[in-house]
């Protein structure tokens, strides 16, 4: 016979059952509230079940990136708004090509952009201009755009591949009276001739550092070439440089002549390149500073040649090497900086009976050789 429960035990069991029933009711109430809230939520806010990554999505995204419109003006570059674009134009950066070939530090200084933003803008400009890797046959097609200016002497032209090329630095060095300046005057006239006559239908800019430009000589050569002397002089922009800094500043302002004044400049003549540098920087202690400034100056000229498809003719002085007992003791000044930056180097020297000898010292694709020419009242002629 089961033992009869006491009244205390019955009260405890009733209390325990009521607690369990309360917990079950509370849990059921919470579940109902949860179901109601989920039903009210919009479908977009519900947590979606993660799906496996589809490779086709990445391909579509890649194709969209490739199909993004390329920049066509300064305002299209990342980080460049209307105000920044105006600052860039005031500093001489008129188009994407000028941005693509710019240095990030210079771009940041003139526009107020951070260095990282300047690098992004340059990268976007280079992408828009297609300045990545291209094949050799594409470069060959681009080489068809290269123009050449005749020297006035057929033998001389054949030596240098048909004339002085655009998009390159052409250096002529030699002692005094060897014909460097005379060749510069001749080129200043020949660049104005039509293409079929060995010219480029353009103008010349003459940076005179040694006071060697003579308009009277220009008139003589222009008359012999069949040009109007007065008109020929108007097609030559001359600037006299008095210091190396002034020379560098004038070179930087040539871009303004072409972009702002819309002048068809196709030839830059620097006569001479090293004269002022040589006078201001004396001794070995100043050599490093001089070469750094010279390197920057040459890169400015090279950028002008590349961007505007023009020729740059440089004259250079020489020095004597006393230690040379056999051979020619004459050597060009400017060191390796000038030698490496010049694509063509020609050594001019005096010959017999008033003749001049041009020897091709360096060229990217032509062999060494010599050509004989003479200088007359009409300019550069066959010997």
Task: Please give the chain's pLDDT, 383 residues, in tens.
Answer: 455 555 555 555 655 655 555 555 666 665 555 555 555 444 444 444 444 444 434 444 344 344 556 788 899 999 999 999 999 988 888 888 889 988 899 899 999 999 999 999 999 999 898 888 889 999 999 999 999 999 999 999 999 999 999 999 999 999 999 999 999 999 999 999 999 999 999 999 999 999 999 999 999 999 999 999 999 999 999 999 999 999 999 999 999 999 999 999 999 999 999 999 999 998 889 999 999 999 999 999 999 999 999 999 999 999 988 888 787 888 999 999 999 999 999 999 999 988 999 999 999 999 999 999 999 999 999 98
The torsion angle over the Cα atoms of residues 199, 379, 235 and 258, rounded to 10 degrees, is 60
Provide the pairing of β-strand 369-376 with 355-362. Answer: antiparallel
Domains 71-129 and 142-382 share a fold: no
What does the pLDDT read at residue 85? 92
What does the pLDDT read at residue 355? 95
Distance, in Å, from the CA atom of 309 to the CA atom of 227, rounded to the nearest integer, reads: 24
The CATH classification number of 142-382 equals 3.40.50.300
What are phi and psi for residue 361, nearest 5 degrees? -90, -40
- Considering the four listed CATH numbers 3.30.360.10, 1.10.3720.10, 1.20.1730.10, 1.10.150.20, the one that applies to the domain covering 71-129 is 1.10.150.20
Q: pTM of the prediction?
A: 0.77
Q: Where are the alpha helices (DSSP H) in 151-259?
A: 154-159, 180-190, 215-224, 229-234, 244-259
The torsion angle over the Cα atoms of residues 367, 372, 375 and 376, rounded to 10 degrees, is -140
Distance, in Å, from the CA atom of 346 to the CA atom of 358, rounded to the nearest integer, reads: 6
What does the buried/exposed string (b/e) look like for 244-261 if buried means 16 or more CB atoms within 10 Å of the residue's CB?
Answer: beebbebbeebbeebbee
Three-class secondary structure of residue 330 per DSSP: strand
Distance, in Å, from the CA atom of 316 to the CA atom of 180, rounded to the nearest integer, reads: 8
Distance, in Å, from the CA atom of 163 to the CA atom of 348, rounded to the nearest integer, reads: 16
Q: Which of 301, 231, 233, 234 is nearest to 273 (CA)?
A: 301
Q: Where are the domains of the chain?
A: 71-129, 142-382
List, in order, residues 6 or more apart from 365 with CB less than 8 Å away.
161
Angle value at C-alpha 174, between 154 and 317, nearest 5 degrees: 135
């Amino acid at each position: 016979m089961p033992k009869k429960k006491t009244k205390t035990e019955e009260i405890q069991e009733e209390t325990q059952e009521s607690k369990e029933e309360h917990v079950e009711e509370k849990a059921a109430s919470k579940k109902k509230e949860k179901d109601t809230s989920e039903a009210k939520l919009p479908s977009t806010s519900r947590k979606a079940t993660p799906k496996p990554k589809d490779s086709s999505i990445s391909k579509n995204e890649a194709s969209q990136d490739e199909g993004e419109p390329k920049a066509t003006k300064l305002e299209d570059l990342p980080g460049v708004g209307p105000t920044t674009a105006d600052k860039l134009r005031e500093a001489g950066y008129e188009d994407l090509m000028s941005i693509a070939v710019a240095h990030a530090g210079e771009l940041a200084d003139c526009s107020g952009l951070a260095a990282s933003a300047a690098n992004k803008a340059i990268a976007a400009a280079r992408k828009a201009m297609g300045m990545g890797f291209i094949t050799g046959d594409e470069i060959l097609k681009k080489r068809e755009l290269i123009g050449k200016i005749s020297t006035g002497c057929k033998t001389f032209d054949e030596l240098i591949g048909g004339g002085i090329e655009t998009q390159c630095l052409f250096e002529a060095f030699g002692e005094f009276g060897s014909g460097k300046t005379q060749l510069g005057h001749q080129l200043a006239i020949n660049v104005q001739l039509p293409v079929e006559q060995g010219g480029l239908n353009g103008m010349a800019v003459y940076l005179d550092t040694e006071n060697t430009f003579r308009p009277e000589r220009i008139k003589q050569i222009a008359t012999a070439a069949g040009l109007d002397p007065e008109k020929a002089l108007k097609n030559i922009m001359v600037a006299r440089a008095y210091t190396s800094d002034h020379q560098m500043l004038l070179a930087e302002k040539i871009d303004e002549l072409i972009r702002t004044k819309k002048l068809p400049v196709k030839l830059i003549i620097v006569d001479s390149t090293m004269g002022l540098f040589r006078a201001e920087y004396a001794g070995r202690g100043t050599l490093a500073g001089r070469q750094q400034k010279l390197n920057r100056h040459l890169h400015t000229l090279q950028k002008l040649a590349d961007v505007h498809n023009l020729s740059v003719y440089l004259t250079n002085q020489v020095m004597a090497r006393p230690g040379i007992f056999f051979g020619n003791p004459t050597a060009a000044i400017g060191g390796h900086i000038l030698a490496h930056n010049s694509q063509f180097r020609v050594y001019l020297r005096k010959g017999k009976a008033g003749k001049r000898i041009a020897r091709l010292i360096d060229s990217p694709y032509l062999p060494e050789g010599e050509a004989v020419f003479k200088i007359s009242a009409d300019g550069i002629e066959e010997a």
